[in-house]
Amino acid sequence: MSHATTDLWRYRGLVSNFARRELKAKYKGSVLGWAWSLLNPLATLAVYAVIFGFFLRFTPTTAGNGKANFAISLFTALVVWNFFFAVTTGSMSALIGAGPLLRKIYFPPFVPVAGNAVGTLVQTGIEFGLLMVVYLLWGNVGWTIIFVPLLLVLLAAFSFGIGLALALLNARFRDMAYIVQVVLNLLFYSAPIIYPIDFVQQRYATDPWARIYEWNPLTRFVEAFREALYTLRVPSGGWLLYLAGVSLGVLVIGWWYFQRGAAGVSEEL
Amino acid sequence: MNGINGAVEPAVVVTDVVKQFRLFKDRRTNLKEVLTQRHRRNRYDMFTALKGVSLDIPRGSTFGLIGHNGSGKSTLLKLIAGIHQPTSGSIEARGRISALLELGAGFHPELSGRDNVYLNGAILGMGRRQIDAAMDQIIEFSGIEEFIDTPVKVYSSGMYVRLGFSIAVNLNPEILVIDEIVAVGDEEFQRRCFDHLHELRRKGVTIIFVTHSMALVRQLCDQVAWLDHGTLRSVGSHGDVVDAYLAEVNAAESERLENQNGDTAVESGRSGTGEVRVTRLEYLDANGESRPVGVGGAPLTIRIHYEVREAVPTAVFGLGFHSENGVHIAGPNTFTAGETPYRLDEDGYIDYLLDPLPFAPGIYTVEVAVTDGSLHHVYDYQGRGAELRVQPGQGADIIGLMTISGRWRHPARDREEAL
């Protein structure tokens, strides 16, 4: 792993170059340009809020300020989910997209994957900024916000680890991208993003399968972020440790798996 | 092995490198095939591009790789540049490598020229400030200031090469790896490239390049490695290796041509009244042996075989030599040479002796004509009588289309020597 950090440091310029390009190229040629990076999640938010909050009348949990707002609760979870989604799917396309370059000039193949993660992190930072403005206006900010950077680091490690593994798998078998789409869809609904976690917990309290649901790292991430930002409670220490362990484990395994196959990847792209 | 560089430490050490490529008959890239198909091992053939190559490239040397197409030159370059990994053996490069392997190598088509400079600099591990420092020089050297902020996808091939080369040489490489690409730019840019290569050489940059131009090898290289079907035939100073390589290439070509057609039969573009007809041209070397090709700088006899259908009292023979791009180089004939017109009664031949054959390597068209003594009545004329293929000889290179027989004199030194 020490080798990994020196490599990361050495190629930091290239990682940021890839990240910048990712951000630049994303909305190039569109009239609203950068504004889309905010309009896009907001539009998704609006759709879900109307369907689940208004039509289906999902009841939100009570926030730290005593009020309850479905859209804000949803927004918090969506920012987390969007990051995970963008890193995992983006990793695959980033490596494939770097193929023409990798075939002609040497640089470590993890660089485009890392560049994608960094670019996504910047975008998520902006979304968080918007989210904070909303919370300030709504009057729901507490000291628990200090957990957010820690959670974000863990989420980034977790997503990047998975992204690395998927990128390499996808380079070998191009169906990976399609399989991942389906699995992510399932994951989206199996984490308490559009509905409160009580929904599941109340109904299946004694069901052993509910444990799997609860131990799903994404469930834990969404809950932890929601606690720190929405309900303003201190995330449970046990779950935080669990998340730290899982994230680090996933990152190490993802990195190891990627590096093991990286040397030959330029011939497979 | 050490050549003129003595005990200089190597910049690149290639040890026993084997490189195999899988040639997939039908590449499995989706999961269904992986899961459903049996006998997976037989789905590809192994192609061995390099079969155990070892060599040291001394620091600061200019190192040429030569060999016919498919000999493994480019594969070796890619391995040195780190793009592929050897199947077995090892390659150790000590220093920052800048590689220029293909047209537009390392360019992202959607990015502007300037952004690509940043991208390439970052790939070489340079910081933004270092790249900024080199930016002006790169743009100036490439000569494409106007287009530097346009996406490179609209660049012409010449512009690609200019920018690529400019980046590769201006980002302070320690080891520069160049595949045969410099040849694309125009004359003026090529000259600048070579000037720059000479300068990098002076600065102690190790330059490794692949080329088919033996003239370039002689001009630039300290050492040459000759690869043949994935094995190293020889390494050494350029003179010996290039000569050995050329000798083999020439022999192979002669053999091929001999198998094709024994002589150069004469047919196309014919006119004339036909009393005398040229049947074929034959090329003879110094020993009087029939050869399919000529060797630059060596003696050559062109034998014109003719048949006489009707005896003629006066006949003049002439030849014309045209370069590939149509330049009429020379047109010797028996009349201007002062020969009395021949009286021809029966079939025979006439020789034209060239000692030495003054042409540069290449393919020439030979026209042949037989006229009467007045030169106005044409018995037989063939505009594209035959092809004369000239191979490079052992001596100095012929610059231009042909050598001319001038002599140099320097009075000042002659006086000094006289004293």
Region of residue A238 (left: phi > 0; alpha: psi -120 to 50; beta: else): alpha
B178 vs B164: CA distance, rounded Å: 11
- The residue of chain A nearest to residue B121, with distances taken between CA atoms, is A14
Residues B149-203 have pLDDT tens digits of 988 888 887 788 888 888 888 877 888 888 876 666 677 777 788 888 888 888 8
Q: Does B82 touch chain A (CB under 8 A)?
A: yes
- For residue A77, what pLDDT is reported? 93
pLDDT at A109 over 80: yes
B348 in Cβ contact with B282 (< 8 Å): no
Give residue B305's pLDDT band: very low, low, confident or very high (50, 70, 90). very high
B132 vs B117: CA distance, rounded Å: 9
- pTM exceeds cut of 0.80: no
Question: Mean pLDDT for chain B?
Answer: 82
Give residue B265's pLDDT band: very low, low, confident or very high (50, 70, 90). very low
Least confident piece of the model among A130-139, A198-207, A220-229, B30-39:
B30-39
pLDDT at B285 over 80: yes
Report H helices in A190-236.
Answer: 198-203, 209-215, 217-226
The residue type found at B115 is D
- For residue A252, what pLDDT is reported? 96
Query: What is the token pair recorded at B278?
Result: 């040229």
Could you give the 3-state DSSP secondary structure of residue B206?
A: strand
A65 vs A221: CA distance, rounded Å: 22
Residue that is written with structure tokens 């002689």 in the block: B218
- Higher pLDDT pick, B233 / A266: B233
pLDDT at B353 over 70: yes
Q: Does B287 touch chain A (CB under 8 A)?
A: no
Give residue B1's pLDDT band: very low, low, confident or very high (50, 70, 90). very low
Q: Please answer yes or no on whether A173 and B106 come within 8 Å at the CB atom.
A: no
Segment (H or E) for A73: helix A70-97
- For residue B34, what pLDDT is reported? 63
Q: List, as own/partner pairs, every contact residues A254-260 make where C-beta atoms lie below 8 angstroms and the sequence separation is at least 24, other chains included.
A: A254/A160, A254/A161, A254/A162, A254/A163, A254/A164, A254/A165, A255/A1, A255/A4, A255/A110, A255/A161, A255/A164, A257/A164, A257/A165, A257/A168, A258/A109, A258/A110, A258/A113, A258/A164, A258/A165, A258/A167, A258/A168, A259/A4, A259/A110
Q: Please answer yes or no on whether A103 and B83 come within 8 Å at the CB atom.
A: yes
- For residue A29, what pLDDT is reported? 67
- For residue B6, what pLDDT is reported? 47
pLDDT at A1 over 80: no
B330 vs B323: CA distance, rounded Å: 10
Q: Please answer yes or no on whether A173 and B30 come within 8 Å at the CB atom.
A: yes
Task: Name the burial class of residue A268, with classes exposed (0-12), middle (13-18) and buried (19+) by CB atoms within 10 angstroms of its CB.
Answer: middle
Phi, psi of B415 (to 5 degrees): -65, -45
Question: Closest partner residue to B84 among A25, A174, A266, by Cβ?
Answer: A266
Residue of A24, A27, A105 best to disrupt the B interface, most CBs of B under 10 A: A105
Q: What is the dihedral of CA B119, B120, B121, B126, to 10 degrees?
A: 90
- Can you tell me the mean pLDDT for B260-269? 50
A177 vs A166: CA distance, rounded Å: 8
Q: Does B196 touch chain A (CB under 8 A)?
A: no
pLDDT at A225 over 70: yes
- Higher pLDDT pick, B127 / A27: B127
Segment (H or E) for B99: strand B97-100
Q: Give the orientation angle of helix A147-172 with respect to helix A70-97, to 10 degrees.
A: 40
- The residue of chain B nearest to residue A263, with distances taken between CA atoms, is B85
Residues A38-87 have pLDDT tens digits of 788 888 888 888 888 888 888 888 888 888 888 899 999 999 999 999 99
- For residue A39, what pLDDT is reported? 84
Residues A174-211 have pLDDT tens digits of 888 899 999 999 999 989 998 888 888 888 878 888 88
A with B: how many residue pairs have Cβ under 8 Å apart? Answer: 66
- For residue B251, what pLDDT is reported? 78
Please list every residue in chain B whose beta carbon sits closer than 8 Å to the beta carbon of residue A26. Answer: none
pLDDT at A105 over 50: yes
